[in-house]
Amino acid sequence: MKLLSLLSIVILIGGSFLYCFSSILLPASVMSSSSSPALSSSSAVNVTDETLDEVAILNSKGVTLNGLGKYNDSIVYFDKALAIDPKNVLALNEKGNAFGGLGNYIQAISSYDKALALDPKNATVLDNKGVAFYHLGNYTGAITYYDLALSLDPTVVFASYDKGNALEALENYSGAITYFDKALTLDPNHVLAMIGKGYALDKMGNHTQAVFNFDKAKATDPRYIPDLTNKAKFLDKIGNYKLAVIYYDKALAIDPKNIDAIKGKEQTLAIINQTVPAGS
């Protein structure tokens, strides 16, 4: 059986989205079938229908814990699933997502690489590896994986949105808008693409259209507004200060009086200035 669909998800933790990774969406029949290439069995272990059912349950528990932001706990369940079926791509992908949620992107990439060794044409895993590179500040490397994902399926919303983000970080605002528009064509209610497009338009001097996109995002789902500041704080925590400033700016573009964003940006800029060598 083939994967029936791929789902882009934004993890919401107590109202705060910390990172954007994608989960493989599988029906129960696929999750318990050894015929799926994404869940193929290892010759090193005797994987039976009974143990495959156990793997599906363990993966389900792990995915639920990921959604709750309990990443260390979810890793325990994915490791149990992988002890039974080491070639389980779903578990490897979700374990990578858990490491990403913890800000451990090197470990996340390692888990994605193991999944890609088994299923090299898995667009979801390719995109997730790109997201890990993005959070490490390697935006060009991230685009490489987004392009691979899009070459496999140009209709995947998350890959278009993620590429727009990376282009934005590289200050290629016109290119970013192209990919945010592609994401919005596929999903007209993609709030983060609206915000990204608004930010890029503002940087290009098109303030009227920028405000239009910000207002549309606010009207579509206001939950994402404080989440931008929360993500910026998370990026500060892992030392990606340049990206943190971008997210503080996105929050301030929508709400110029947001105290958390104002103070957070000031503190981040102070750190950046401290790390710049004198006379540079």
Residue in the structure block whose two tokens are 């888990």: 111
CB 100 within 8 Å of CB 132: yes
Q: Which residue has the higher pLDDT, 38 or 211?
A: 211
C-alpha span between 278 and 238 (Å, rounded) = 24
- What is the amino acid identity at position 99? F
pLDDT at 35: 29
How far, CA to CA in Å, does 44 sit from each of 47, 78, 82, 84? 9, 18, 12, 10
- Give the pLDDT confidence of 18-72 residue by residue, as tens digits: 446 777 654 333 333 332 333 344 444 555 667 778 999 999 999 999 889 899 9
- Check residue 45 and report its DSSP letter: S
Q: Which residues pair with 243 in a beta bridge?
A: none
Q: Which CATH superfamily is domain 1-136 in?
A: Tetratricopeptide repeat domain (1.25.40.10)
Query: What are phi and psi for residue 220, nearest 5 degrees?
Result: -70, -45
pLDDT on residue 170? 96
Beta strand spans in the chain (E): 5-8, 12-13, 16-17, 22-25
Considering only 38-52, 95-109, 144-158, 245-259, which range has the smallest mean pLDDT? 38-52
Average pLDDT, the chain: 82
Q: How confident is the model at residue 237 (pLDDT cuts 50, 70, 90)?
A: confident
CA distance 233 to 200: 21
- What whole-number distance in Å separates Cα of residue 271 and Cα of residue 245? 11
Q: What is the mean pLDDT of residues 223-227?
A: 75
d(CA 212, CA 87): 47
**Residue 258 contacts residue 229 (beta carbons within 8 Å):** yes
Q: DSSP assignment of 118-173, as one string?
A: H-TT-HHHHHHHHHHHHHTT-HHHHHHHHHHHHHH-TT-HHHHHHHHHHHHHTT-H
pLDDT over 90 percentage in the chain = 57
List the one residue out of 99, 30, 101, 39 whose CA is nearest residue 67.
101
pLDDT digits (tens, 9 = 90+) for 165-196: 999 999 999 999 999 999 999 999 999 999 99
d(CA 241, CA 106): 18
Q: Select the more confidently predicted residue: 111 or 260.
A: 111
Whole-structure pTM value:
0.79
